[in-house]
Amino acid sequence: MSAEPKQDISSSTALDRSDVRVKHQAGVGGAISAFFDRVRSGDLGSLPVIVGLVIIWSVFTALNPVFVSSSNLVNLLFDCSTVGVIALGIVCVLMVGEIDLSVGSISGFASAMVGTLWVNQGWPVALAIVAALAVGGFIGALYALLFNRLGMPSFVSTLAGLLAVLGLQLYILGSTGSINLPYGSNLVNFGQLLVMPDWLSYALAAVPGIVMLITGLRTVSRRRAVNLSAPSVGGLIVRVAALTILLELIVGYLNQARGIPWMFGLFVGLVVAMNYALTRTQWGRSMTAVGGNREAARRAGIKVRSIYLSAFVMCSMFAALGGVLSAARLASASQQAGTGDVNLNAIAAAVIGGTSLFGGRGSAYSALLGIIVIQSIASGLTLLDLSSSLRYMITGAVLAIAVIVDSLARRSRVSHGRA
């Protein structure tokens, strides 16, 4: 078979191109018009969040140029990682169309556990973290049990959990109210100081492009071999080059200051792993199916209850991990940890990033994009020296806008025949 796509179509029609009624976009112009078609029908993907990010960054930079300085952005990445990990868990429960309102409390409880077990009881730090994660997973399993066996809506069970787990947090912290984690320990260094060496960050920034190129070329050759239409190699190379240049530029800019935090590296690693699990494994396919049509998933032989169990357990464990990271970031476990806006920031991040509240649609990257939006607002308002009262109002408004966009896009998808 020839490498030229045009000859390809005239000589032998590809298996998936034989139906003449379907428009197939070819080339760069086709890709652009297909993109506009998708957006018009309500399949927005990451577009709203990227537009929002551009607006937010332009406004804050105009008000205070320090906002885009590399040192401020490095701090931003440190702050993103803690709530971002919690938002990743929220993506899991939203995928199956459920919600967990107690992630803030779970994160606070996990940080309190690490504080008491490690500092007060003298446990090894790794063991304390594992214990916190295990308890987080147990709480998630409890929600799943209430949901699967008793039919308790997750909205209510996790709202009850919000209070109960907050009570546990206050109980184990006792009268002192806060535990300081020792400065200079690995955990606190990880949360506050440790950044990747320059060479490593440049190398890691090249990895996504290389992986995309290799898997893309493999897919193209496999599809050609079995007579399916394949995307053009040229387009793939353009995209890989653009992505690699963009990432290297970002890394270069951040390396002018301290560099890429290891904690952010951990967060991105989790996002990538989660994205693979959601899109390329049977488990992820089952999660999407359960979120889209629970009864259809059950009839297809999917163990719906175990899928719900895995979603709730993963959400709570990510929340606990986020709590440990925020304890490391603040070098303390206090009664305030996980309260206030942590809960809603995590949920808002997932929704703003493009994961639907209605289930069955979303991606792990929405946690990454969404938390950058939320933290940009927080950081920009802090730089403007505005009080937290204004920050709450603005974050609340952004969340409302994100949900409105989600609802409108959903309505448009229904009327355009895209679910």
Partner 1 sequence: MSDIFDGPVSAGELVLSLRGISKNFGAVSALTDIDLDVHAGEVVALVGDNGAGKSTLVKILAGVHQPTSGTINFRGKQVTMPDPSAALTLGIATVFQDLALCENLDVVANIFLGKELSPLRLDEVAMEIRAWTLLNELSARIPSVREAVASLSGGQRQTVAIARSLLLDPKVILLDEPTAALGVAQTAEVLNLIDRVRERGLGVLMISHNMEDVRAVADRIVVLRLGRNNGVFEPDASNQELVSAITGAANNAVSRRAERRKAAEQAHNQEQRP
The footprint of partner 1 (CB under 8 A) covers 15-16, 19, 21-22, 219, 222-223, 226, 228, 280-283, 285-286, 288-289, 291-293, 295-297, 299-302, 360-361, 413-414, 416-419
Nearer to partner 1 by C-beta: 22 or 62? 22
Residue of 182, 162, 155 lying closest to 99 (CA atoms): 155
3-state secondary structure the chain: CCCCHHHHHHHCCCHHHCCCCCCCCCHHHHHHHHHHHHHHCCCCCCHHHHHHHHHHHHHHHHHCHHHHCHHHHHHHHHHHHHHHHHHHHHHHHHHCCCCCCCHHHHHHHHHHHHHHHHHHCCCCHHHHHHHHHHHHHHHHHHHHHHHHHHCCCHHHHHHHHHHHHHHHHHHHHCCCCEEECCCCCHHHHHHHCCECCHHHHHHHHHHHHHHHHHHHHHHHHHHHHCCCCCCCHHHHHHHHHHHHHHHHHHHHHHHCCCCCEHHHHHHHHHHHHHHHHHHHCHHHHHHHHHHHCHHHHHHCCCCHHHHHHHHHHHHHHHHHHHHHHHHHHHCEEECCCCCCCHHHHHHHHHHHCCCCCCCCCCCCHHHHHHHHHHHHHHHHHHHCCCCHHHHHHHHHHHHHHHHHHHHHHHHHHHHCCCC
Nearer to partner 1 by C-beta: 6 or 218? 218
Nearer to partner 1 by C-beta: 22 or 150? 22
Nearer to partner 1 by C-beta: 208 or 292? 292
CA Rg, the chain, in Å? 23
Nearer to partner 1 by C-beta: 62 or 226? 226
Nearer to partner 1 by C-beta: 54 or 408? 408
Nearer to partner 1 by C-beta: 6 or 222? 222
Q: Least distance to partner 1 from the beta carbon of 364, Å?
A: 16
Q: Least distance to partner 1 from the beta carbon of 148, Å?
A: 19
Q: Least distance to partner 1 from the beta carbon of 45, Å?
A: 13
Q: Least distance to partner 1 from the beta carbon of 409, Å?
A: 13
Nearer to partner 1 by C-beta: 310 or 379? 310
Q: Are 96 and 285 in contact (CB under 8 A)?
A: no
Q: Least distance to partner 1 from the beta carbon of 286, Å?
A: 7
Nearer to partner 1 by C-beta: 288 or 376? 288
Q: Least distance to partner 1 from the beta carbon of 186, Å?
A: 33
Q: Least distance to partner 1 from the beta carbon of 152, Å?
A: 25
Q: Least distance to partner 1 from the beta carbon of 366, Å?
A: 15
Q: Least distance to partner 1 from the beta carbon of 91, Å?
A: 15
Return d(Cα 198, Cα 259) in angstroms, integer.
7
